[in-house]
Amino acid sequence: MTATAPLSLHVPEPAVRPGGTPNFGEIEIPQAGTVRRPDVDVAAADIRDLAYTIIRVMDGEDRAVGPWAGTLTDEECLAGLRDMMKLRAFDGRMLMAQRQGKTSFYMQHLGEEAVSTAFRRALEPGDMNFPTYRQAGLLIAGGYPMVDMMSQIYSNENDPLLGRQLPVMYASKEYGFFSISGNLATQYIQAVGWAMASAIRNDTRIAAGWIGDGSTAESDFHAALVFASTYRAPVVLNIVNNQWAISTFQGIARGGSSTFAARGHGFGIPALRVDGNDYLAVHAVAKWAVERARRNLGPTLVEYVTYRAGAHSTSDDPSAYRPKTEFDAWPLGDPITRLKGYLIGRGAWSEERHKQGEAEILDEVVTAQREAESHGTLHAGGKPSPRDMFEGVFAEMPPHLRRQRQQAGY
């Protein structure tokens, strides 16, 4: 006979469900500027605390404070603000286009614009990202043509991927954007492999892997951390913790660990946690991690604490699993509003110029959309040929595919 009670299974639950009052009390948010900035050659063991705090630069009065401040000029911040505004406008138009039936599917970045746009500005030409589906800011900030992105979304005759991929699964070698897989997490270890290759060839280019909070549960994540740690690969391993994996709150993937960044500790990988809605902090941390990689000091794990303000995708309705007003209660705010406030505080921007900027950007996006739609949308106008469907499975088409193409009548 045992004196203990029968066992019971623990299933984590988010603090609040629909109908409840949003509550992010569990997330401890330090004052901006209070987290130290170690040298890039620091040992992972000496910065264990940085995996449990949040690096922040912008304070409540729109000032940049502390040791992580000062990586960007006002000009660069204005470019960053434009990147985020463009991404938001792009999202708005494409979301609407999906609702209008011009494409099958879309995924927006609302609330997370700072993460990918600021990270992109910390990279050098030739570096390679292995993104997931919510890092289009890498392309926008990298200057990739919006018309080509939209054409991919529409799967039209101008689609660089010939209509083969689900919308938003872009690919561009030139712009350092690896082909997106809908499988999730698979690209994390590939980023490590790419970085290892760069080291094998004594190159100077580095890689960046991207993953969401939910997908860190996949084995690929752990394989990536083992390989990155073992071979000290020149890679930045990014975890975008936007709190929600479709309907599953981040606690299901995180388990008993209080943060995702802490996962780095078991692998001896320096791990930082950063305010993902603070453009200046994201850029400063990215720059630190990129420099570590470039100086052959090895990988860095970075957790971006952010919030997915929109639905997971156009096929998702978040009101079914979280309070509708949760984003209003999100303590790290909106990345655009915050950078805008900072720049106004610096005298480098104004409400008026912001409104004017919004109009200009919308005009630019709408012009691109018009051009993209002149090449067709999913169900109307120019389309990739079904003949293309049989190309590109192999470098050279083998006889069986040639036969099937003939059978199909192309």
Partner 1 sequence: MTRRTMIEAIRDAMAVMMERDEDVVVFGEDVGYFGGVFRCTQGLQARFGASRCFDAPISELGIVGAAIGMASYGLRPCVEVQFADYMYPAYDQIVSEAARLRYRSNGEFTAPIVVRMPTGGGIFGGQTHSQSPEALFTHVSGLKTVVPSNPYDAKGLLIAAIEDPDPVIFLEPKRLYNGPFDGHHDRPVTPWAKHEGGEVPDGHYTVPLGKAAIRREGSAVTVLAYGTIVHVAEAAAAETGIDAEIIDLRTLLPLDMETIEASVRKTGRCVIAHEATLTSGFGAELAALVQEACFYHLETPIVRVAGWDTPYPHAQEWAYFPGPERVGRALRAAMEG
Binding site for partner 1 (CB under 8 A): 128, 130, 160-162, 164-165, 169, 171-173, 178-179, 181, 183, 186, 188-201, 207, 219-220, 223-224, 226-227, 230, 392-396, 398-400
Of 10 and 201, the one with the shorter C-beta distance to partner 1 is 201
Least distance from C-beta 377 to partner 1, angstroms? Answer: 19
Q: List Cβ neighbours of 151 (8 Å cut-off, separation of 6 or more).
A: 157, 158, 159, 160, 372, 375
Of 100 and 407, the one with the shorter C-beta distance to partner 1 is 407
Residue 166, Ramachandran bin (φ over 0: left; ψ between -120 and 50: alpha; else beta): beta
User: Cα–Cα distance between 36 and 42 in angstroms, integer?
Assistant: 12
Least distance from C-beta 142 to partner 1, angstroms? Answer: 15
Least distance from C-beta 141 to partner 1, angstroms? Answer: 19
Least distance from C-beta 162 to partner 1, angstroms? Answer: 5
Of 94 and 208, the one with the shorter C-beta distance to partner 1 is 208
Least distance from C-beta 230 to partner 1, angstroms? Answer: 6
Of 92 and 384, the one with the shorter C-beta distance to partner 1 is 384
Helix (H) or strand (E) segment spanning residue 35 = none
Of 19 and 398, the one with the shorter C-beta distance to partner 1 is 398
Burial of 16 (0-12, 13-18, 19+ CB in 10 A): middle
Helix (H) or strand (E) segment spanning residue 240 = strand 235-241
User: Cα–Cα distance between 297 and 291 in angstroms, integer?
Assistant: 9
- Pull the structure tokens for residue 158: 């101008």
- Written as one letter, the residue type at 84 is M
Of 177 and 327, the one with the shorter C-beta distance to partner 1 is 177
Of 63 and 222, the one with the shorter C-beta distance to partner 1 is 222
Least distance from C-beta 135 to partner 1, angstroms? Answer: 16
What is the Rg, in whole angstroms, of the alpha carbon atoms belonging to the chain? 22
Burial of 390 (0-12, 13-18, 19+ CB in 10 A): middle
Of 4 and 219, the one with the shorter C-beta distance to partner 1 is 219
User: Cα–Cα distance between 343 and 396 in angstroms, integer?
Assistant: 54
Least distance from C-beta 264 to partner 1, angstroms? Answer: 17
Least distance from C-beta 154 to partner 1, angstroms? Answer: 15
CB-CB neighbours of 20 under 10 Å: 12
Q: List Cβ neighbours of 253 (8 Å cut-off, separation of 6 or more).
A: 213, 214, 215, 216, 217, 245, 260
